[in-house]
């Protein structure tokens, strides 16, 4: 089976130009080549005698990448003008049905496809937007990017995306590469905290929306979840169930969302009049191993915490693992929902964001910018939702 498919490969790849289309192509090219009388052609006339330049070799059909028919080729084959082909391809009015048919046939026969690079160059707009996120594989960003893609698609745009891996330099590199591609707009989940590098781009008309975390040192549209309020509610939920010694495990406070969630934790504790002890908080841990150590630490000692608030889904999952091995029952509320949270025993109580809505809102805002219907940058905060599933309702076990 494998051999059979392999053997036909070369025929399909390279063989097809020999008999049918090949003659036509070369004839057309020859006509085209000699048909520019305006230039004072010394090298042109000598072309047959002079040894090949790199250029002429590069122009040989078999060596040229993208040796594709152009509108000129289609026009020649259909016996019409270049612009008429353009009109047909773009569905512009003012072409006789008969002419249109001839052009369509030529397009079909040559396998022509419009070169959008050239089109972009001419028209200015690329009908594509860029998405810079942290990690394509993070389940939180899946729905978010899909939402962006859907809105994008609805506006006839393609989506180019890349991951910054939480590295500010890489974020910048990516964003600027996208700008060089002349994307119409950018949706960015920031890794860094200084985005002044985007100022020339924004000034040049690149629509820009930041999601999940705010932009740094520039004025721009931002779409966020209410991290502060969500965390405060989640911690208050634990307090309402009788907990007083509550731990907090979160990401580096230089990340805005992490800082906000920490602030929410502190606010809830303060509202309840509970002084926070230093050992209850673990900041800046991300990798599972360190989260594990941090959790075990605050669960041991003379006055261990009876509940944990986890700052994001990765932390939550690790804490769930630690608690599963733990004798005493410890309450848990996590920020971010995750699949199967309801299937665990107990189900995991979470403060849920709506990543799809984040993405949708950001993308819609982007296209509003492009419409010109948006005048002032705004900061939009989407609400979070507390989903009680059991783990957050466990009473304190002293």
In the region spanning residues 15 to 74, those forming contacts with a second copy, defined by CB under 8 A, are 15-17, 53-55, 57-59, 63-68
* Collapsed DSSP state (helix, strand, coil) of residue 393: coil
Rounded CA separation 225/365 (Å): 15
Reference 338, options 324, 367, 318; nearest CA is 318
Per-residue tokens: 174: 């990516």
Q: Give the CA distances from residue 203 to residues 35, 129, 188, 196, 307, in Å, rounded to whole numbers and listed in that order.
A: 44, 17, 17, 11, 49
- Contact positions with DNA (CB under 7 A) in 115-144: 115, 118-119, 121-123
Whichever of 5 and 90 has its CB closer to DNA, that residue is 90
Structure tokens at 20: 């049918």
Cα–Cα separations (whole angstroms), residue 72 to 28, 84, 105, 394: 9, 10, 14, 74
Q: Which is nearer to DNA, 113 or 385 (CB)?
A: 113
Binding mask 83-122 for a second copy (x = CB under 8 A): ----------------------------x-xxxxxx-xx-
Q: Could you tell me which residues come within 8 angstroms of residue 211 by beta carbon, excluding any fewer than 6 positions away? A: 144, 187, 188, 189, 222, 223, 224, 358, 359, 362
Binding of residue 202 to a second copy (CB under 8 A): yes
Helix or strand or coil: residue 109? Answer: helix
CA–CA separation, 361 and 212 (whole Å) = 11
- Choosing among a second copy, DNA, none, which partner's interface includes residue 96 (Cβ < 5 to 8 Å by kind)? DNA
Per rule CB under 8 A, is residue 328 in the interface with a second copy?
no
Task: Tell me the closest approach of the beta carbon of residue 366 to a second copy, in angstroms.
Answer: 13
With beta carbons less than 8 A apart as the criterion, state whether 350 and 334 touch: yes
Q: Does 347 bind a second copy (CB under 8 A)?
A: no
Spell out, one character per residue from 148 to 177, where the chain touches a second copy: x when CB under 8 A holds, - when not. Answer: -x---x----xxxxxx------------xx
386 makes contact with a second copy (CB under 8 A) = yes
* Interaction partner, residue 327 (a second copy, DNA, none; CB < 5-8 Å by kind): none
Binding residues for DNA restricted to 58-97, rule: CB under 7 A: 58-59, 66-68, 70-72, 75, 79-84, 86-87, 89-90, 93-96
Contact between 210 and 223 (Cβ < 8 Å): yes
Binding interface with DNA (CB under 7 A): 36, 39, 43, 53-55, 58-59, 66-68, 70-72, 75, 79-84, 86-87, 89-90, 93-96, 98-99, 112, 114-115, 118-119, 121-123
């Amino acid at each position: 089976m494998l051999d059979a498919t392999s053997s036909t490969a070369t025929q399909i790849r390279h063989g097809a130009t020999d008999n049918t289309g090949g003659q036509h192509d070369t004839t057309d090219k020859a006509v085209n080549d000699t048909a520019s009388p305006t230039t004072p052609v010394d090298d042109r006339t000598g072309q047959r005698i002079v040894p090949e330049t790199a250029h002429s070799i590069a122009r040989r059909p078999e060596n040229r990448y993208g040796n594709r028919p152009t509108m000129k080729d289609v026009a020649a084959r259909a016996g019409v003008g270049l612009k008429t082909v353009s009109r047909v391809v773009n569905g512009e009015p003012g072409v006789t049905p008969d002419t249109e048919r001839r052009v369509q046939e030529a397009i079909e026969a040559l396998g022509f496809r419009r070169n959008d690079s050239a089109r972009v160059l001419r028209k200015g707009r690329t009908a594509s937007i860029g998405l810079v996120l942290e990690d394509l594989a993070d389940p939180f960003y899946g729905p978010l990017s899909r939402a962006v893609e859907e809105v994008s698609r609805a506006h006839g745009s393609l989506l180019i995306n890349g991951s910054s891996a939480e590295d500010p330099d890489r974020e910048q590199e990516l964003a600027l590469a996208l700008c060089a591609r002349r994307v119409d707009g950018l949706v960015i989940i920031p890794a860094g905290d200084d985005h002044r590098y985007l100022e020339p781009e924004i000034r040049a008309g690149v629509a820009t929306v930041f999601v999940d975390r705010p932009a740094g040192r520039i004025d721009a549209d931002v779409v966020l979840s209410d991290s502060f309020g969500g965390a405060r509610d989640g911690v208050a939920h634990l307090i309402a169930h009788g907990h007083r010694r509550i731990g907090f495990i979160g990401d580096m406070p230089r990340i805005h969302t992490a800082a906000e969630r920490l602030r929410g934790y502190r606010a809830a504790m303060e509202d309840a009049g509970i002084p926070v002890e230093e050992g209850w908080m673990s900041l800046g841990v991300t990798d599972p191993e360190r989260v594990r150590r941090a959790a075990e630490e605050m669960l041991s000692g003379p006055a261990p915490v009876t509940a944990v608030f986890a700052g994001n889904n990765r932390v939550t999952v690790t804490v769930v693992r630690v608690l599963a091995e733990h004798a005493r029952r410890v309450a848990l509320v996590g920020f971010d929902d995750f699949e199967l949270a309801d299937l665990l025993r107990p189900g995991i109580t979470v403060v849920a964001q709506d990543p799809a809505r984040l993405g949708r809102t950001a993308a819609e805002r982007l296209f509003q910018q492009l419409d010109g219907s948006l005048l002032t940058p705004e900061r939009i905060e989407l609400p979070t939702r507390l989903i009680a599933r059991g783990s957050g309702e466990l009473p304190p076990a002293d």
